[in-house]
């Protein structure tokens, strides 16, 4: 039986030889940090030696009940600790020359700040004396010890951090100093004592019997025990609340586990020849090819990140004579790393008394803008090819660039920050209730709905608002989920905001800034910002690096991208964004506004003449609609969906009408006034349905009211013929929605063809018109072989298919239980955002069945999933011909489609 | 190239040799009538010779555009006509000794009275003289001619039959006689002239240019033309309205076509030594083993059926010396036929001047009661085996015996008959509007809703009524479809009823019988009868022959039959009917009545204590429920479905509440009164859903409100433990509804098991409890492999699965467009009555997936399809373990399950 290897060493042996067992390709074994430390060691860069406990060990830890180290792990750790002591020539806990180590988490995917780290481990009442001996710096030694106790208490023992900060503050006050580094060695030694007391009185001894000394908990003096507790704490931090939330948001699997890196400490806080810093090989904000980063003299790593002290730009490092050598070496390392990784790297380093140490590197995170520039530059530099460039750009991130944004050339005073829950910026009057939002929106005013947190009761207000701002709730809160579903900007969890809905105002905590009902505010859901007043918004544009990358994507991709657009304006926008046609033009959107009255006449009249007149008016209006859209999409296909929603959607609410009648009755209104209203109510009631989603809609309308589909088909054909005569090349595709049975399509196709033939005869012009159907019901999927016999194309309506496959009414589900379902991981992602694998099985069955009986069948998707990169990959794998999405998502889809061809 | 054979001869040649080309197994070629005529001829029975034109010729006729004889058919007919003339030694149209023929339809399946027949064909102004010469009976000859003209006009030319009846009536009046046979030869000759005039002035000459003589239409004297027109008329009658409706009702395919039988006429109306009759080899009403039937002396076949003259029982035939020989021969033939067919046969015969001729035989239709007795008797006689007996009993027909019925031991005055649209009898006050029906039902009164025809607006009234009676509409009318869906008695299309909804009364046409608002009436949807007053109803019972047949079914079947039952009473009934367990106990039905208030407290309270108290009350009540059901089903499994419907179903209608509030406001009600109502409205609104079918229901409730499922699981377990202690053998199965994702079941199974374990610990008793799920969503079907890992059983909820697979909300679809969909054959059958093949594909996928990952998985069906024989066959083919249906359907299901094993 082969022994499982659970620990990998890295760094130079005592004799200077590289003694590293891992490399950068082992991130699923060693985590990103561990793999990259090994890689840097292999490259000969100065890495403090250490070892990495594998991610699999963490998984094994959780697999045990109760959680526990797998057999043999402790022995392996002990062996590597001994080896590390050998490399360093120091021993953990040694009273003369102690080895101090850092214990750091590091999973396969970067989860910054989500998991735990313990520094300076190995200090105890004995070894602190050794540290004093070695460094001849008593203050440093005691400061290291108190930092260790503080960090260990918080991270490993979960003791409230404020207890230690308060003690520190009291000590500074007592000594009359401003900064921690003004405290003397004595002060710090006293603090160590005080911290140990805090530790002792806040640890539950019964939970940690190993920490009991004379029956009372005490800070552990056994360095082996320190190490074991710290490693376990890192394991445990894999499943802390914020790590779980982060993984859900970033779609990182839960079963990877985290590695633990135990590494010899180096110190950036050993005086003015020491420093610590972070850097990027290029500018991660805009992508400029320059060394980028910050450093702090005489500091430990967390000081840089914490932002308490003002950092210096990394370019200044070399200007400081103390750091000239280290600075020059760092520049070289930047180049070495970028060459090795062929990508922008992000690094952490420490200079200990003039000597540079590399503590971490990884491929760096960057903004969407930077991602594009770096990719384009690196292709120009010959560092990567276009495929690699495309592989590196996350299409979802590009969404940032495709919503209205605060004009970046202006500056804004961000009064508070929250979570960037749904991208895009919005400006409007602050309102504090959903009813007010709705009322204001009905008056034509733009509003931002400001709530503590939203609930399903606020839905109408969310629909009415330009954007949503909440003070509570995370990225899977009701507000966040629903706003993303609606495609509305949303900032949530803005803790700094104290909202008084009754008084209709919100105060930014700790300031005198108050947002009152009706005040204009601006929010940016991409950054999570709140700005007072009206920010200038700019519309997105696809040009420059973005345009270049998309052109590469177009060269590579095989999946067509169309847009969902119902107006000539949307069609034009879609074309600008690179859509190769319209995949879904919803005709019901053309029946709103002033035409609503006409369709009401049709629905409610029982007089054939009135109905015929209404139809004639609609027919004429529809011809204009189609002329506009077909002209905008000259030469490109336009899929027009015939009327889909239940007719009663065009009518007034029966409940409101009945309330109105009741009111009129009570006020003694005349029968002349009441009778027509009562009649109208009866008519509307007779059209109402229990479950309109599953009722008399889609092609069922076409079967019941052939005249309705008739005028639409006539208008499409007439518009196409007229444009052809005027020299255009219209390419209409008529789509019959909600087919569940082949006979529906057979009947309606026949009726459609009859009308087309008639119009051709009348106009003397012929145009190629495809006739197809939307596949959006499970029964259609499993009987696609029959349906395909009557279809030129299938377009998957994945929204409705998701609704019927799951039995989820989107209107009800997203607001009522989807947040809890995501929270409890009942579903891994919102199936209305990324297509579900069960639904994909139905789509797959329909593709197979459809193509089997009709090999020429064109296959596309026109649900909102058509704009979601993860879904696009699945659609590509099914071999679809195209996806269709909202115009603003077209660039994202183009990139995602290209990436799908290289399997990402 | 082989010539297609389109005509088959039958009967003896002139030399007495059998000259028959077909046999009884050729019913798809020759139709039932033609095949059986050939069979009788083969058996040597006295059959008038003739020939049969195949059903395929009819199909070919329709395949041509416009419809036309296939090439060669006319020549083949001419050849067989000539052969027939040879056999008979007579010629069509001959002025000395004319051959007369009958032209009769006859398809593979019996469609009695649906298609056309022409008798006495071959008469014209010349051949009538030949008939006189041959028969020496002038009155008979002229009567035959006038009958021919009348029948030809009506059947072939579609001329209104009343025109001829009126002329006949006028003639009788003019001659002062009562009956047609009192008219003299002269009278009849005059009538022939008058009938020819009626013919001439009612035929559209432009449509029949062949009938023009001197530019005016005339009754055809060319006997070849007569024959050709009559054959075409039979072809055309295949697609007349009533034939199409009948086929739809009986599920007979439309593409079979009808055969045409051309057969030498024999005459039962040649004086007192002639007769005609119909018979059955056993009594078709109750199954008694006796010769059964009626005859009329000196009459033609249609006179017997028309019921104008009083017939004599067939047993009397032999008593008449004129018919002694023929009567004895007939008895022999009855025995020969029953032996040959091993079944009860139905025959038509004519005695022409003492000589017996057989005109038709077929396996006879019989009542459900007769079907059972005949099957049991024949098994006892050794004529058939049990399998064959089961093969012959149509389970759907047994439904007649399983609804409340008019007590057959009492007599009732049936005042009018309509279509038997939905079986069962009902008694109640007649009401004429849906609103009144609802209002009366709310007062606890039983009503019958009487309407011209129902529309979706009447739905609430149909729900409230005991039964539905309409004067218009066929068996696929709105009333019929919806009533069948509801399982309510319905008589529709009662033409004799003249309804004045405004005056609230209905008159039986041609009588002085008036049904007024509030009058008690009784309807029988099994027979289509209306009776005044309160008929005595009897409840169904399974005993005698029915019991015997079901016992045979139980020996043969492998599919288990359970019942859907929610109360101890229903459970007991189900057990009496032979259910082997409860497949679905719906707990929501246990939350109605006085418990509704308790669940309202739970739903609406925001106070934890009130909620807890409400839960406690429900928990106690539920224990009682389960004690009753488990005790009734001692030793048999009981599948209890945890709460399924959306919570707001337990609440008041928000619309009614808002109207009430509006009314109170207008009346100046106090805030004390209004505020709680407004609060309640807001709460109800927050729970309302756009599409409750697809909303927060089923296991989603279990995830959101673990307490609710918690008390149910606890009650089930407590009841089971208590019964076990009392010596019973309770076998609960807990069913979690509406699972779409495996994680739902994983979570809820865990919670369920935890509670069960706790109750076991508390009571010290353990019971075997299975935990499974309802598979009723398409996504669950295609991911059944994942779900099955957490399930002991799957029960297919085919109602909801049909809804989501089709995207059909049953509440909306059945009332709004299902009638039109059936009418236009968009769907072949109502998919809520017989399971659809697309839905079956989903069920199949779930069976395959489920068993793959969990070979021990038990599979059942608890949708209403579980009681439908056609669906049961499909479920059997999928290899399910059991089906569950309403208690009254259990016997039907037992029989259907047995038949499924022999493939019917």
DSSP A271-319: STT-EEEEEESS-TTT--SS-EEEEEES--HHHHHHT-SPPEEGGGGGG
Residues ≥6 apart with Cβ < 8 Å to B71 = none
What span, in angstroms and rounded, lies between the C-alpha atoms of A862 and A883?
6
pLDDT-above-70 percentage for chain A: 99
Q: Which is it for strands B882-885 and B50-53: parallel, antiparallel or unpaired? A: unpaired
Closest CB to A809 among B455, B663, B695? B695
- In which element (H, E) is residue A143 found? helix A138-151
Residue B696, min C-alpha distance to chain A (Å): 7
Which one of A248, A463, A782 makes the best mutation probe of the B interface by having the most chain B beta carbons within 10 Å?
A782
- Which is catalytic among the residues B55, B58, B345, B478? B478
Whether residue A733 has a cis bond before it, omega within 30° of 0: no
Residue A700, min C-alpha distance to chain B (Å): 8
Q: How far is CA A298 from CA A103, A184, A347, A842, B582, in A?
A: 21, 16, 18, 62, 78
What span, in angstroms and rounded, lies between the C-alpha atoms of B862 and B871?
12
- Which is catalytic among the residues A55, A345, A781, A862? A862
Which one of A648, A694, A810 makes the best mutation probe of the B interface by having the most chain B beta carbons within 10 Å?
A694
CB A347 within 8 A of CB A360: yes
pTM of the model: 0.82
- Residue A423 in this model has a pLDDT that exceeds 80: yes
Q: What is the DSSP string of B123-171?
A: --TTHHHHHHHHH--HHHHHHHHHHHHHHHHHHTT---HHHHHHHHHHH
Q: Which is it for strands A212-213 and A216-217: parallel, antiparallel or unpaired? A: antiparallel
Report residue A25 as tokens: 């390709």
Give the 3-state secondary structure of residue A5.
Answer: coil
Average pLDDT, chain A: 92
Closest CB to A809 among B658, B694, B842? B694
Residue A104's beta-bridge partner residues? A117, A261
CB A704 within 8 A of CB B817: yes
The Cβ of residue A598 has, within 10 Å, a number of other Cβ atoms equal to 18
Q: How far is CA A221 from CA A80, A84, A122, A647, in A?
A: 21, 20, 9, 77
Residue of A nearest to B683 (CA): A457
pLDDT per residue as tens digits for the range A593-646: 778 888 888 888 878 898 899 999 999 999 999 999 999 999 999 999 999 998
Confidence at A123, pLDDT banded by 50, 70, 90: very high
Active site residue A865: no
Residue B663, min C-alpha distance to chain A (Å): 6
- Which is catalytic among the residues B490, B492, B781, B862? B862
Phi, psi (degrees; rounded to nearest 5) at B692: -55, -30
| Predicted pLDDT of residue B1 | 47
The answer to whether the complex's ipTM is over 0.85 is no
- Contact across the interface for A806 and B740, Cβ inside 8 Å: yes
Closest CB to B803 among A457, A692, A694? A694
- Residue A890 in this model has a pLDDT that exceeds 60: yes
What span, in angstroms and rounded, lies between the C-alpha atoms of A325 and A320?
10
What span, in angstroms and rounded, lies between the C-alpha atoms of A878 and A900?
11
- Identify the residue whose tokens are 């008019």: B406
- Contact across the interface for B704 and A820, Cβ inside 8 Å: yes
CB B456 within 8 A of CB B815: yes
> Dihedral (C-alpha) B76, B81, B82, B83: value to the nearest 10 degrees?
90
What span, in angstroms and rounded, lies between the C-alpha atoms of A550 and A556?
10
Report residue B348 as tokens: 């038509």
- Contact across the interface for A744 and B817, Cβ inside 8 Å: no
Closest CA to A146 of A166, A123, A176: A123
Residue B429's beta-bridge partner residues? B447, B520
| Predicted pLDDT of residue A305 | 63
Active site residue A781: no
Residues ≥6 apart with Cβ < 8 Å to A314 = A277, A279, A291, A292, A293, A294, A295, A330
Q: Which is it for strands A793-796 and A770-775: parallel, antiparallel or unpaired? A: parallel
Phi, psi (degrees; rounded to nearest 5) at B178: -90, -45
Residue B850, min C-alpha distance to chain A (Å): 14
From chain B, pick out residues whose CB is under 8 angstroms from the CB of A704. 817, 820
Closest CB to B807 among A690, A694, A743? A694
Q: B542 burial class (0-12, 13-18, 19+ CB within 10 angstroms)?
A: middle
Residue A747, min C-alpha distance to chain B (Å): 8
- Contact across the interface for B817 and A694, Cβ inside 8 Å: no
Closest CB to A804 among B689, B744, B778? B778
pLDDT per residue as tens digits for the range B730-772: 999 999 999 999 999 999 999 999 999 999 999 999 999 999 9
CB B735 within 8 A of CB B797: no
Q: What angle do CA A811, A812, A818 make, to 5 degrees?
A: 105
Whether residue A66 has a cis bond before it, omega within 30° of 0: yes
Sheet-wide strand order for A312-313: A312-313, A292-297, A275-280, A345-352, A355-363
| Predicted pLDDT of residue B180 | 83
pLDDT per residue as tens digits for the range A741-786: 999 999 999 999 999 999 999 999 999 999 999 999 999 999 999 9
Residue of B nearest to A744 (CA): B826
- Contact across the interface for A692 and B689, Cβ inside 8 Å: no
Closest CB to A686 among B456, B836, B838? B456
- Which is catalytic among the residues A403, A478, A790, A865? A478
From chain B, pick out residues whose CB is under 8 angstroms from the CB of A844. none
Longest dimension (CA), chain A: 105
- Contact across the interface for A779 and B654, Cβ inside 8 Å: no
- Contact across the interface for B827 and A743, Cβ inside 8 Å: yes
Residues ≥6 apart with Cβ < 8 Å to A278 = A293, A294, A295, A304, A305, A346, A347, A348, A349
Phi, psi (degrees; rounded to nearest 5) at B154: -75, -50
The Cβ of residue A567 has, within 10 Å, a number of other Cβ atoms equal to 15
From chain B, pick out residues whose CB is under 8 angstroms from the CB of A798. none
Residue A429's beta-bridge partner residues? A447, A520
Residue of B nearest to A739 (CA): B806
| Predicted pLDDT of residue B86 | 93
| Predicted pLDDT of residue A485 | 67
pLDDT per residue as tens digits for the range B602-626: 888 878 898 899 999 999 999 999 9
Beta carbon pairs, A and B, within 8 Å: 205
Residue B530's beta-bridge partner residues? B416, B523
Confidence at A1, pLDDT banded by 50, 70, 90: very low
From chain A, pick out residues whose CB is under 8 angstroms from the CB of B815. none
Closest CA to B791 of B774, B777, B779, B776: B774
pLDDT per residue as tens digits for the range B355-410: 999 999 999 888 888 999 999 999 999 999 999 999 999 998 888 788 888 988 88
Q: What angle do CA B741, B742, B745 make, to 5 degrees?
A: 105
Residue environment code for A637-663, b if the CB has 16+ CB neighbours within 10 A, otherwise e: bbbbbbbbbbbbebbeebbebbbbbbe
From chain A, pick out residues whose CB is under 8 angstroms from the CB of B812. 689-692, 694-696
Q: How far is CA A844 from CA A584, A780, A830, A848, in A?
A: 21, 12, 20, 6
- Contact across the interface for A740 and B803, Cβ inside 8 Å: no
The Cβ of residue B750 has, within 10 Å, a number of other Cβ atoms equal to 11
- Residue A426 in this model has a pLDDT that exceeds 80: yes
Residue A736's beta-bridge partner residues? A773
End-to-end CA distance of chain B: 38
Confidence at A152, pLDDT banded by 50, 70, 90: very high
- Contact across the interface for A807 and B776, Cβ inside 8 Å: yes
- Contact across the interface for A813 and B694, Cβ inside 8 Å: yes
Residue B453, min C-alpha distance to chain A (Å): 16
Closest CB to A700 among B696, B817, B841? B817
> Dihedral (C-alpha) B152, B153, B154, B160: value to the nearest 10 degrees?
-170
What span, in angstroms and rounded, lies between the C-alpha atoms of B236 and B255?
13
Residues of chain B with pLDDT under 50: 1
Residue B537's beta-bridge partner residues? B406
Give the 3-state secondary structure of residue B797.
Answer: coil
Q: How far is CA A809 from CA A588, A639, A694, A822, A832, in A?
A: 20, 25, 10, 16, 11
Which one of B656, B669, B691 makes the best mutation probe of the A interface by having the most chain A beta carbons within 10 Å?
B691
Q: What average pLDDT does the segment A183-207 reach?
A: 94
Residue B234, min C-alpha distance to chain A (Å): 28
From chain B, pick out residues whose CB is under 8 angstroms from the CB of A776. 807
| Residues found in chain A | 904
- Contact across the interface for B812 and A685, Cβ inside 8 Å: no
């Amino acid at each position: 039986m082969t022994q499982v290897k659970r620990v990998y060493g890295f760094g130079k042996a005592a004799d200077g030889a590289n003694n590293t067992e891992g490399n950068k390709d082992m991130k699923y074994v060693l985590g990103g940090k561990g793999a990259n430390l090994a890689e840097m060691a292999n490259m000969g860069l100065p890495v403090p030696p250490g070892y990495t406990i594998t991610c699999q060990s963490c998984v094994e830890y959780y697999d045990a009940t109760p959680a526990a180290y797998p057999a043999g792990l402790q022995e392996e750790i002990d062996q590597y600790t001994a080896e590390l002591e050998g490399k360093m020539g120091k021993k953990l806990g040694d009273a003369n020359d102690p080895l101090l180590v850092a214990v750091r988490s590091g999973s396969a995917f970067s989860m910054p700040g989500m998991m735990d780290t313990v520094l300076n481990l190995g200090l105890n009442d004995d070894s602190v004396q050794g540290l004093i001996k070695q460094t001849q710096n008593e203050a440093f030694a005691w400061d290291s010890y108190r930092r260790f106790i503080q960090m260990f208490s918080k991270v490993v023992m979960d003791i409230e951090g404020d207890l230690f900060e308060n003690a520190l503050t009291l000590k500074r006050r007592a000594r009359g100093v401003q900064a921690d580094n003004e405290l003397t060695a004595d002060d710090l030694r006293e603090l160590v004592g005080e911290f140990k007391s805090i530790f002792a009185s806040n640890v539950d001894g019964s939970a940690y019997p190993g920490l009991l000394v004379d029956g009372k908990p005490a800070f552990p003096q056994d360095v082996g025990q320190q190490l074991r507790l710290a490693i376990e704490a890192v394991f445990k931090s894999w499943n802390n609340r914020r790590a779980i939330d982060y993984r859900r948001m970033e779609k990182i699997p839960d079963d990877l586990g985290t590695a633990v890196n135990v590494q010899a400490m180096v110190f950036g806080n050993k005086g003015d020849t020491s420093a610590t810093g972070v850097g990027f090989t290029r500018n991660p904000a805009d992508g400029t090819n320059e060394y980028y980063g910050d450093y702090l003299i005489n500091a430990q790593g967390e000081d840089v990140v914490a932002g308490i002290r003002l950092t210096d730009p990394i370019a200044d490092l070399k200007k400081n004579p103390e750091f000239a050598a280290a600075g020059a070496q760092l520049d070289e390392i930047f180049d070495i790393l970028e060459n090795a990784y062929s990508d922008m790297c992000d690094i952490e380093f420490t200079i200990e008394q003039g000597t540079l140490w590399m503590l971490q590197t990884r491929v760096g995170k960057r903004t969407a803008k930077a991602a594009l520039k770096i990719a384009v530059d690196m292709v120009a530099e010959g560092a990567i090819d276009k495929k690699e460039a495309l592989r590196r750009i996350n299409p979802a991130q590009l969404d940032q660039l495709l919503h209205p944004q605060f004009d970046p050339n202006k500056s804004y005073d961000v009064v508070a920050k929250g979570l960037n829950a749904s991208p895009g910026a919005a400006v409007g009057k602050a309102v504090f209730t959903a009813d007010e939002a709705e009322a204001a929106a009905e008056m034509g005013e733009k509003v931002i709905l400001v709530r503590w947190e939203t609930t399903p009761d606020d839905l109408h207000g969310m629909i009415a608002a330009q954007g949503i701002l909440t003070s509570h709730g995370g990225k899977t809160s009701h507000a966040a989920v629903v706003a993303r579903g609606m495609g509305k900007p949303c900032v949530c969890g803005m803790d700094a905001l104290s909202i008084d809905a009754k008084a209709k105002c919100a105060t930014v905590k700790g300031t005198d800034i108050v947002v009152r009902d009706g005040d204009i505010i601006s929010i940016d859901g991409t950054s999570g910002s709140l700005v007072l007043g009206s920010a200038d918004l700019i519309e997105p544009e696809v040009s420059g690096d973005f345009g270049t990358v998309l052109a590469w994507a177009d060269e590579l991709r095989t999946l067509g991208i169309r847009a969902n657009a119902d107006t000539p304006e949307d069609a034009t926008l879609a074309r600008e964004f690179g859509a190769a046609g319209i995949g879904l033009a919803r005709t019901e959107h053309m029946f709103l506004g002033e035409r609503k009255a006409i369709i009401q006449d049709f629905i409610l009249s029982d007089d054939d003449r009135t109905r015929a007149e209404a139809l004639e008016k609609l027919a004429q209006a529809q011809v204009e609609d189609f002329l506009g859209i077909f002209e905008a999409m000259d030469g490109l296909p336009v899929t027009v969906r015939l009327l889909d929603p239940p007719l009663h959607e065009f009518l007034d609410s029966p409940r409101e009408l009945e309330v109105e009648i009741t009111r009129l009755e009570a006020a003694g209104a005349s029968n002349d006034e009441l009778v027509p209203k009562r009649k109208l109510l009866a008519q509307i009631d007779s059209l109402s349905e229990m479950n309109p989603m599953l009722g008399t809609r889609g092609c069922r309308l076409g079967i019941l009211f052939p005249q309705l589909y008739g005028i639409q088909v006539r208008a499409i054909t007439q518009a196409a013929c007229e444009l052809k005569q005027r020299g255009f090349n219209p390419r209409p595709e008529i789509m019959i929605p909600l087919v569940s049975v082949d006979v529906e399509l057979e009947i309606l196709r026949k009726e459609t063809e009859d009308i087309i033939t008639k119009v051709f005869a009348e106009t003397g012009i012929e145009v190629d018109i495809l006739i197809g159907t939307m596949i959006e019901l499970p029964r259609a999927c499993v009987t696609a072989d029959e349906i395909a016999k009557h279809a030129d194309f299938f377009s998957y309506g994945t929204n409705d298919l998701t609704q019927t496959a799951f039995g989820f009414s989107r209107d009800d589900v997203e607001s009522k239980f989807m947040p809890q379902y995501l929270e409890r991981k009942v579903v891994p992602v919102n199936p209305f955002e990324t297509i579900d694998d069960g639904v994909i099985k139905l789509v797959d069955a329909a593709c197979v069945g459809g193509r089997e009986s009709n090999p020429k069948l064109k296959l596309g998707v026109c649900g909102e999933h058509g704009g979601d990169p993860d879904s696009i990959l699945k659609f590509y794998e099914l071999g679809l011909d195209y996806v269709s999405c909202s115009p603003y998502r077209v660039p994202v889809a183009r990139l995602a489609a290209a990436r799908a061809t290289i399997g990402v």
